Amino acid sequence: MKIQMFIYPGMTLLDLVGPLQAWSVWPGTDIQLVAQSSGPIPTDCGLSVLATHDMASAWSDPDILFVPGGTDGTFALLDNDEVLDFLADQGHRAGWITSVCTGSIVLGAAGLLSGYKATSHWMAKDMLPGFGVEVADGRWVIDRNRASGGGVTAGIDFGLALIAHITGSEETARRVQLVLEYAPNPPFSSGTPDEAKPETVTAVTEYFNSQGVEARAELMAKAVGRYQHLFNT
């Protein structure tokens, strides 16, 4: 099972590490960490991840293509034709096209989610329809050979669910879960807008909206235009 995980500056580390840790325990897998250039790639929490391959040396036919999400770093990809063209090309040959968090926005911009159900971070779901995506709720969503996870921590759930789905063996995923001792027991019920207090939702929403919202809107508009152009040619 050739798993190709595309990484980039400013991505959210846990978006990557959640499924990566689960899949690294999945028997029979080989994983590439691919970036525009090989070497250390800084994430949004300051810790860098080593890209094992650049785009030129990456597998051309991965079984699983995966893109993590983030904030500013992710939106910057929407103006990066080299990356979007690479992902679009890889996606035509990949067995599975997958993401966590706002990685689905990047896949949408590459034209890879049109006509599919997908999810994203709760703050970004309303951006998906611009790329022809049918928004779905859930910690993970699987639609044919597309799989997407919700925000950040959902990557572990997503990773385990995809193992079970692809292998047809829930037991395989259960063993991986036990290896990880994944038994979440958060101290608060504040992990979704439905669970959180209204004032918490308001504060977090205002925080996201204060972080370069105008620049992101411009990048989204450009990416949607690019997506539509792909399907008009």
- 151-168, pLDDT tens digit by residue? 999 999 999 999 999 999
Which of 67, 2, 25 minimizes the C-alpha distance to 160?
25
Q: What is the mean pLDDT of residues 193-219?
A: 89
Domain 2-232 part of CATH 3.30.420.10: no
Q: What is the mean pLDDT of residues 79-103?
A: 97
Which of 62, 68, 19 minimizes the C-alpha distance to 173?
19
144: which 2 tokens?
A: 């044919």
5: which 2 tokens?
A: 């995980």
Instruction: Give this prediction's pTM.
Output: 0.96
Q: Write down the domain spans for the chain.
A: 2-232
How far from 48 is each of 7, 16, 36, 41, 176, CA to CA, in Å?
Answer: 10, 12, 15, 5, 25
Q: Which amino acid is at 171?
A: E
What is the number of other CB atoms lying within 10 angstroms of the CB of residue 93?
11
Whether 101 is a known active-site residue: answer yes
At residue 208, the pLDDT reads 85
Which of 12, 11, 13, 19 minimizes the C-alpha distance to 162?
19
For residue 154, count CB atoms less than 10 angstroms from its CB and return exposed for 0-12, middle for 13-18, buried for 19 or more.
buried
148 vs 131: CA distance, rounded Å: 15
Is the pLDDT at 233 greater than 70? The verdict is: no
Catalytic choice (101, 127, 220, 224): 101
Q: What is the mean pLDDT of residues 53-62?
A: 97
118 has which bridge partners? 135
Task: Grade residue 216 by pLDDT with cuts at 50, 70 and 90.
Answer: confident
At residue 65, the pLDDT reads 98
**Phi, psi torsion values for 89, nearest 5 degrees:** -65, -45
